[in-house]
A and B are shown apart, each in its own frame.
Chain A
Amino acid sequence: MLYDSKTPIYLQVVNAIKADIVNGKIQCGEKLPSGRELAIKYTINPNTSARVYQELENQGACFTRRGMGTYATEDPMMIEKFKKEMAETALEEFLRSIKELGINKEEAIDMIKEHQGDW
């Protein structure tokens, strides 16, 4: 994974994992890799991967079963909430760049409808 240079690395990994939970690459209630495995998978410091799980747990994206490891949330409402939040963030970023080009909302909507790319 390529990391952008401004945001803390742990947050970038947190968002990548949340996206996988939202898009179903990680199933509801699926066991997640150990801290060390996660560090190797994302080429990050083991302390960073510990922080990733801490943050995911704080946000309710995963939970720990004592002695068993970390699991993705089993709560579909939570996953729906992440989906909305992450879509909102993506939309804000899109609108910011489109606004910078001096394109208004109606024009932007038309452009999305006419766009030929993969959807």
Chain B
Amino acid sequence: MLESIEITKKFVGKTAVDNISMKLESGHIYALLGPNGSGKTTWMKMVTGLIKPTSGYIMYNGAPIGIPSRREIAYMATEPYFYDWMTIADVGKYYQDFFEDFSMEKYHTLLGRMELDTKMKTKNLSSGMMAKLKVAVTMARNAKVFLLDEPLNGIDLIARDEVMQAAIENAAPDNMLIISSHLVEELESVVDSAIFIKDAKLAGIYNIEELRQNEGVSLADKYREVFGHAVGGEN
């Protein structure tokens, strides 16, 4: 279980994350939704330990996050982070050196599914291919928590489907996926819960099927209600 307890991050002149408390459980795929600048990335970086909170803390399976939790939490950042000279095969080796839970076999399966060739150089990849590579190398870890920051950004429909299929395929009762996006409709059928972040604060956690069953509204409807403007304006 992953707990965010009254977590706050202040930068000079801006509160990026404001007192967010929530408990997330294994066996679920969560969408982390909110406009750009609402604090999604900062929250994710605090979960991975890349940013220290100003106050509050993150607990993973009952202990504060640290080196042991980092072994089980896989994070995919928005910005590309491979060296230009690397081939797709090199990226795999690089990850294998870093992470004990990295599975080369899983990596190759994911690459095959996404039609990526190991001999290709990362500097020559299209943005869709780069997005798929980032997801493949992250999901090739046998982690317990996967944090994917904007995996659908700037890529075409087919690549999006492939990314979502990789997410579904790797979801298991003993792991948890958290996918941030502002593409609400794309995530709607795949996630079971959605976390809304508005102006750095938690604006609600909704179970998708309960929303439909109890209120007769979709996640996109709820998003419009909470954020009060049209969805998918970006990209």
Contacts and interface: CB of A to CB of B under 8 A. Distances in A.
Contacts of A39: 168, 171
Nearest to B208: A9
A92 B148 CA distance: 44
Given A43-B189, A44-B189, A47-B28, A6 B168 contact: no
Contact of B188 (A3, A6, A51): A3
Most buried by A among B165, B212, B216: B212
B212 A6 contact: yes
Nearest to B27: A47
B192 A43 contact: no
Interface string A16-49: 0000000000000000000010011011111110
Contacts of B191: 45
Interface residues of A, number: 18
A116 interface: no
Given A3-B188, A43-B161, A43-B190, A48 B216 contact: no
B235 interface: no
A5 interface: yes
Interface string B192-230: 100000000000000011001100111011000000000
Nearest to A42: B189
A7 B209 CA distance: 8
Interface of A: 3, 5-10, 36, 39-40, 42-48, 51
5 contacts: A5-B217, A6-B218, A9-B189, A40-B165, A47-B192
